[in-house]
Chains A and B, each alone.
Chain A
Amino acid sequence: MRRYLLRRIVLLIPVLWGVATLVFAVTNIIPGDPVDLMLGETARPAQREELRKALGLDRPLLVQYGSYLGGLLKGDLGTSIHNNRPVAKLLAERIPASAELTIAALAIALAIALPLGIVAARRAGSLVDMGASALAVLGASIPVFWLGPLLIIFFSIDLGWLPVSGRTGVLSLVLPAVTLGTALSAILMRLTRSSLLEVLPQDYLSTARAKGLTERKVLWLHALRNACLPLITILSLQLGALLSGAIITETVFAWPGVGRLTIQAISARDYPLVQGCVLFIAFVYVAGNLLADIAYAWLDPRVRYN
């Protein structure tokens, strides 16, 4: 197990290096000049050059790339051009809000998807199945920036149950999490249903039934456990999408997460900050994948030897 883990962790390095390189390339291709955006139009050319030098933007690209990678190796994400603060610190400020939103969205997605998926699988082909599927598909079909305000109008204005926007405690988390989690719940529901359908008719379940286990126990202890393997895979794959997909949700609900930080960094051409944000999102993604693989290996020992 330890060797398997080690191998997996070592494999992360080239991926993160690739992401770092890709984001470096992309940020340097985007037109627009951070110095122009900072100094505005009143600055003298000499002043511009001065700042460019101070920020190290006057060096050849390869040198910039080298020092950027060197910094990363030392665990240094660099300093934001725009407000001169460490990128790591800026990110750290946003991580709690992003983590709350992501975890809550995941929880809500699971809370919707699992029961619906189970019911749909157990009574496949019935009206309930069709209804649940239709609901899930509908959820995945509504653009987030339309769903969000509709939810606000209904739950915050008409019913007055929840705050309109902002981050002011658990209640304020509900609507953004539902908005963000809806699309994911559709994916998970479909997956739960189809993987359950696959295991339900299998022999060992019949054996379990024959041993006298109740149908409920069969379902929860045996069937769902196997169905959960693909679920873990998809969840880990969706983690990154959830973080970056939160950009729109965060904008609608004025939620101060990493997504908003990234968008602003892009529009200010704050290269180090853009790079830091993208690396962070990529890291969460690969870390999620790693965890999923570990969970896999834990649930199915044979995976380790592959």
Chain B
Amino acid sequence: MNEIPSIPQKRSFVRPLAAALAAAWLFLAGCGSDPLPPGRNVIVGIESNPTQFDPRLSQDAVSSQVQRFLFNRLISRDENDRIKLELAESWERPSPTVHRFRLRRGVRFHDGTVLTSADVKYTFDSIRDPALASPRAAGLRELDRIETPAPDEVVFYLKEPSAAFAESIMVGIVPRNAKKTGAAFGERPIGTGPFRFRRFEPDERVELDAFPEHFGGAPSYDRLVFRVLPEETVRILELESGGLHMIQNAFSPDILPRLRKNPRLQIHRRAGTNFTYLGFNLADPILSRLKVRRAIAHTIDRGPIIRYILKGLATPADSLLPRDHWAHTGGLPRYRHDPALARKLLDEAGFPDPDGPGPQVRFSLVFKTSQNELRRRVATVISDQLRQVGIHLRVRAYEWGTFFGDIRSGNFQLYSLTWVGISDPDIYRYIFHSRFFPPAGANRGRYRNEKIDSLLDAARRVPETAPRAVLYHEVQRILGAELPYVNLWHVVNVAAIDRRLTGYRVYPNEDLISLAGASLAPAMKSSSPEKSRR
């Protein structure tokens, strides 16, 4: 290509090139979305797009956080994780299989129509309709039928008593005409929530407008904006320079001291219900041995991990349930850090260390994890700790789809994940009951114990809290001894908030809903707030 000969000069190419560049700039100047009007917006940073605005279909945390502002539920959880009435005005249980709700009066959807019991019935009927393919259908297995004796009265009839009923109906109520809009409902969602949908620019922002007719009163500001910012450093810089008013949990603990020093920000923290664990594949010939699992539990030293890596933003867990949960029991094994005991257990399990502290190992295991930086870091530390008792742990981080597929199909030895928003202990059934091997449930480690199965089945049928708790105490003791999981920690939720934003409260389950009642003080006069930082 270096042999192009000269060409007689007629046309100048410089001018067209310049013109093209100028045109490009004009074109560029013309596009781009308009900047946000200044003032009464509250802007929150999120890591990824919400994938779904239809509350019947969503399952990821970001989607449900955003939906809470658009939709109301019959009942929900308050800031102390207790059940409270939301759209329901009263909740009666005339018999263990009948639940009667009276609805608040005068509740309006964003399109002006009044909420009636027909909307509630439609919401749950459509969830059970296979055509909708709702991930929530399984939770309503005991539901027999719904009746609507009056516009403000809705009655749920169950096939058998279900202690998990309350949890299963915590879904945003959609209007019954959502049926007509079909799949488009997810693009223009209409609910009764304190904010109504304005627009969603994928990978950019979700904008919600305050809904003045909300039954709980209108929000004190005009617009709630969620900005999608995948890169952590950029989220922090946006927060520091005033482009965001809040981020919650979406930053490494290491950044906290820097944020704390910033006079424009305040840090809120609160113990949460998210539970991080190490899962074993019990079908694996090595990990099927209890002594090996116990040895691993005794080798993992959670203290330094929580202190140095999580910077105290976690509390050690001895059960899936947080310590202040009503079904949590005391006296569970803690598996304190004890490498000597671990070595002894491994010897007894038939895996002697070929050369003691030397480089040879008892056996090798693969530890699968997602690509999240903090998770990989924790995995690297655990691998280092296990090396000290002669176990070689290879950490393998996979792209999420591959990782999740492997975990579900049982193609793993060890993995680590977090259960989000643990509330009702019925979740145990879903995770450890032998009927809930994937794809039916999340018993990914193939744990099988008839005692556990019958305890969990029984507990689901007992509506009263106290006797139900007794059953779960037994479950926790058995699981604590048999170790299908190593319980690692419960995550402490932490939010970094602009001081101008007041009235926000961190919920244990990461819910952002208290933003609806928060208020934003007018901007300070300072012309460039970022100058004051340095």
Contacts and interface: CB of A to CB of B under 8 A. Distances in A.
A and B touch in the complex (CB under 8 A): yes
A28 interface: no
Interface in A191-231: 195, 198-199, 202, 204, 220-222, 224-226, 228-230
Interface stretch (B281-289, B310-318, B437-445): B437-445
Interface string B258-287: 000000000000000000000000000000
Contact of A32 (B201, B241, B401, B534): B401
Nearest to B204: A256
B43 to A, nearest CB: 10
B240 to A, nearest CB: 7
Nearest to B58: A40
Interface string B120-164: 000000000010010111110000000000000000000000000
Contacts of B27: 100, 103
Given A44-B138, A267-B401, A226 B4 contact: yes
B169 to A, nearest CB: 15
Interface string A246-269: 000011111111001100101111
A166 B36 CA distance: 11
Contact of B32 (A30, A36, A173, A251): A173
Contacts of A40: 59, 135
User: Looking at A157, A228, A269, which has the most chain B CB atoms within 10 Å of its CB?
Assistant: A157
Nearest to A152: B237
A43 B440 CA distance: 7
B241 A156 contact: yes
User: Looking at A43, A170, A195, A230, which has the most chain B CB atoms within 10 Å of its CB?
Assistant: A43
Interface residues of A, number: 81
Given A46-B130, A51-B133, A260-B203, A103 B24 contact: yes
Nearest to B182: A84
A82 interface: yes
Interface in B484-534: 528, 530-531, 533-534
A299 B4 CA distance: 10
Contact of A149 (B14, B231, B400): B231
B186 interface: yes
A269 B13 contact: no
Contacts of B35: 168-169
A238 B23 CA distance: 21
B138 A252 contact: no
B405 A83 contact: no
B32 A50 contact: no
A45 B440 CA distance: 7
Contacts of B139: 42
B7 A107 contact: no
B304 interface: no
Contacts of B534: 158
A202 B241 contact: no
B130 A47 contact: yes
A252 B229 CA distance: 8
Contacts of B137: 42-44, 47
A172 interface: yes
Contact of B408 (A41, A46, A160, A170): A41
A33 interface: yes
Contacts of A47: 130, 133, 137
B2 interface: yes
Tier of interface size on chain B: 35 or more
B6 interface: yes
A31 interface: yes
B356 interface: no
Interface in B25-82: 25, 27-29, 31-36, 49, 51-52, 59
Nearest to A35: B133
Contacts of B95: none
B234 A149 contact: yes
Interface string B82-125: 00000000000000000000000000000000000000000000
Nearest to A296: B4
Contact of B402 (A31, A103, A170, A224): A31
B201 A256 contact: yes
A164 B203 contact: no
B186 A83 contact: yes
Given A50-B130, A152-B237, A254-B229, A32 B441 contact: no
B408 A267 contact: no
Contacts of B402: 30-32
Nearest to B230: A251
A264 B407 CA distance: 20
Interface in A232-290: 233, 250-257, 260-261, 264, 266-269
Given A44-B137, A149-B233, A164 B6 contact: no
Contacts of B530: 157, 160
A100 B96 CA distance: 62
A100 B137 CA distance: 44
B28 A157 contact: no
Interface of B: 1-2, 4, 6-7, 9, 12-14, 21, 24-25, 27-29, 31-36, 49, 51-52, 59, 130, 133, 135-139, 183, 186-187, 201-205, 227-231, 233-234, 237-238, 240-241, 243, 399-402, 404-406, 408, 430, 438-442, 528, 530-531, 533-534
17 contacts: A31-B402, A31-B405, A32-B402, A40-B135, A41-B438, A42-B136, A45-B440, A82-B51, A83-B52, A103-B24, A104-B28, A157-B237, A168-B32, A172-B32, A204-B6, A254-B231, A266-B401
Given A44-B137, A149-B233, A224-B14, 6 more contacts: A30-B402, A43-B135, A47-B133, A156-B241, A266-B399, A266-B401
